Protein backbone atom coordinates (compact mmCIF):
# COMPACT_ATOMS: atom_id res chain seq x y z
CA UNK A 1 0.00 0.00 0.00
CA UNK A 2 1.26 3.46 -0.89
CA UNK A 3 2.02 5.81 2.03
CA UNK A 4 0.18 8.62 0.24
CA UNK A 5 -3.01 6.53 0.21
CA UNK A 6 -2.65 5.88 3.95
CA UNK A 7 -2.27 9.60 4.67
CA UNK A 8 -5.31 10.40 2.52
CA UNK A 9 -7.52 7.87 4.31
CA UNK A 10 -6.57 8.79 7.89
CA UNK A 11 -3.81 8.39 10.42
CA UNK A 12 -2.26 5.32 11.96
CA UNK A 13 -1.03 5.31 15.55
CA UNK A 14 0.84 2.40 17.08
CA UNK A 15 0.34 2.17 20.84
CA UNK A 16 3.42 2.41 23.04
CA UNK A 17 2.48 -0.95 24.60
CA UNK A 18 2.68 -2.62 21.18
CA UNK A 19 6.14 -1.16 20.58
CA UNK A 20 7.19 -2.33 24.07
CA UNK A 21 5.98 -5.88 23.40
CA UNK A 22 7.85 -6.01 20.10
CA UNK A 23 10.98 -4.76 21.88
CA UNK A 24 10.69 -7.49 24.54
CA UNK A 25 10.25 -10.19 21.89
CA UNK A 26 13.21 -8.88 19.89
CA UNK A 27 15.44 -8.71 22.98
CA UNK A 28 14.51 -12.25 24.00
CA UNK A 29 15.85 -13.55 20.65
CA UNK A 30 19.40 -12.50 21.54
CA UNK A 31 21.80 -15.10 22.90
CA UNK A 32 23.11 -14.01 26.30
CA UNK A 33 19.86 -12.35 27.43
CA UNK A 34 18.45 -14.19 30.46
CA UNK A 35 15.03 -15.79 29.93
CA UNK A 36 12.66 -17.39 32.44
CA UNK A 37 11.44 -21.00 32.28
CA UNK A 38 8.76 -20.03 29.74
CA UNK A 39 11.30 -18.41 27.40
CA UNK A 40 10.23 -14.87 28.28
CA UNK A 41 12.53 -11.98 29.12
CA UNK A 42 13.63 -12.20 32.74
CA UNK A 43 12.23 -9.13 34.49
CA UNK A 44 14.11 -7.20 37.18
CA UNK A 45 12.47 -7.57 40.59
CA UNK A 46 12.09 -4.93 43.28
CA UNK A 47 11.86 -6.29 46.82
CA UNK A 48 9.94 -3.95 49.12
CA UNK A 49 8.85 -5.35 52.48
CA UNK A 50 9.35 -8.89 51.15
CA UNK A 51 6.83 -8.33 48.35
CA UNK A 52 8.25 -8.85 44.91
CA UNK A 53 7.01 -6.34 42.36
CA UNK A 54 7.78 -6.86 38.70
CA UNK A 55 9.11 -3.78 36.99
CA UNK A 56 8.31 -3.23 33.34
CA UNK A 57 11.58 -3.75 31.45
CA UNK A 58 10.67 -1.37 28.60
CA UNK A 59 9.92 2.34 28.42
CA UNK A 60 8.85 3.83 25.08
CA UNK A 61 8.78 7.53 24.21
CA UNK A 62 7.38 8.43 20.79
CA UNK A 63 7.67 11.92 19.34
CA UNK A 64 6.65 13.16 15.91
CA UNK A 65 10.06 12.23 14.50
CA UNK A 66 10.91 8.86 16.07
CA UNK A 67 10.70 6.53 19.04
CA UNK A 68 13.22 6.19 21.84
CA UNK A 69 13.20 2.83 23.58
CA UNK A 70 14.78 2.10 26.98
CA UNK A 71 15.04 -1.60 27.78
CA UNK A 72 16.45 -3.32 30.85
CA UNK A 73 17.89 -6.81 30.51
CA UNK A 74 19.60 -9.37 32.65
CA UNK A 75 22.50 -11.16 30.98
CA UNK A 76 23.65 -14.73 31.35
CA UNK A 77 26.89 -15.45 33.19
CA UNK A 78 29.78 -15.76 30.75
CA UNK A 79 28.30 -13.56 28.05
CA UNK A 80 29.94 -10.26 27.12
CA UNK A 81 27.52 -7.57 28.24
CA UNK A 82 28.70 -5.10 25.60
CA UNK A 83 28.10 -7.59 22.79
CA UNK A 84 24.69 -8.59 24.18
CA UNK A 85 23.64 -4.94 24.54
CA UNK A 86 24.75 -4.11 21.01
CA UNK A 87 22.85 -7.08 19.57
CA UNK A 88 19.74 -6.10 21.57
CA UNK A 89 19.95 -2.54 20.22
CA UNK A 90 20.16 -3.70 16.61
CA UNK A 91 17.46 -6.36 16.89
CA UNK A 92 14.98 -4.14 18.76
CA UNK A 93 15.42 -1.25 16.33
CA UNK A 94 15.05 -3.50 13.30
CA UNK A 95 12.00 -5.35 14.66
CA UNK A 96 10.11 -2.22 15.74
CA UNK A 97 10.79 -0.38 12.49
CA UNK A 98 9.89 -3.33 10.26
CA UNK A 99 6.75 -4.35 12.17
CA UNK A 100 5.30 -0.90 12.87
CA UNK A 101 6.87 1.51 10.41
CA UNK A 102 7.75 3.77 13.35
CA UNK A 103 11.32 5.07 13.02
CA UNK A 104 13.51 4.39 16.05
CA UNK A 105 16.19 6.97 16.85
CA UNK A 106 17.66 5.29 19.96
CA UNK A 107 17.56 2.02 21.83
CA UNK A 108 19.09 2.43 25.28
CA UNK A 109 20.00 -0.90 26.87
CA UNK A 110 20.44 -1.09 30.63
CA UNK A 111 22.16 -4.22 31.95
CA UNK A 112 20.53 -4.56 35.37
CA UNK A 113 21.85 -7.93 36.46
CA UNK A 114 23.62 -11.17 35.70
CA UNK A 115 21.99 -14.56 36.06
CA UNK A 116 24.53 -16.97 37.48
CA UNK A 117 24.78 -20.49 36.10
CA UNK A 118 23.58 -23.29 38.33
**Tell me, what CATH number does 81's domain have?**
3.30.70.1350
pLDDT of residue 42: 77
How confident is the model over 63-77, as a mean pLDDT? 93
The larger pLDDT score, comparing residue 28 to residue 2, is at 28
pLDDT of residue 93: 98
- CB-based contact 78:118 (threshold 8 Å): no
Residue-wise pLDDT tens digits, 47-65: 555 555 456 789 999 998 8
Q: Is residue 67 part of a domain?
A: yes
Split into its structural domains, the chain has a count of 1
Q: Is residue 8 part of a domain?
A: no
Residue-wise pLDDT tens digits, 94-104: 999 999 999 99
Domain that holds residue 48: 13-115
- CB-based contact 108:92 (threshold 8 Å): no
Q: Is residue 6 part of a domain?
A: no
Q: Is residue 32 part of a domain?
A: yes
Amino acid sequence: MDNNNIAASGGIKVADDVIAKIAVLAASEIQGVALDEEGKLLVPQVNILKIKLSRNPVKVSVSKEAAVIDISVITEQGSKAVNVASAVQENVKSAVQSMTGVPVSKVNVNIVGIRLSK
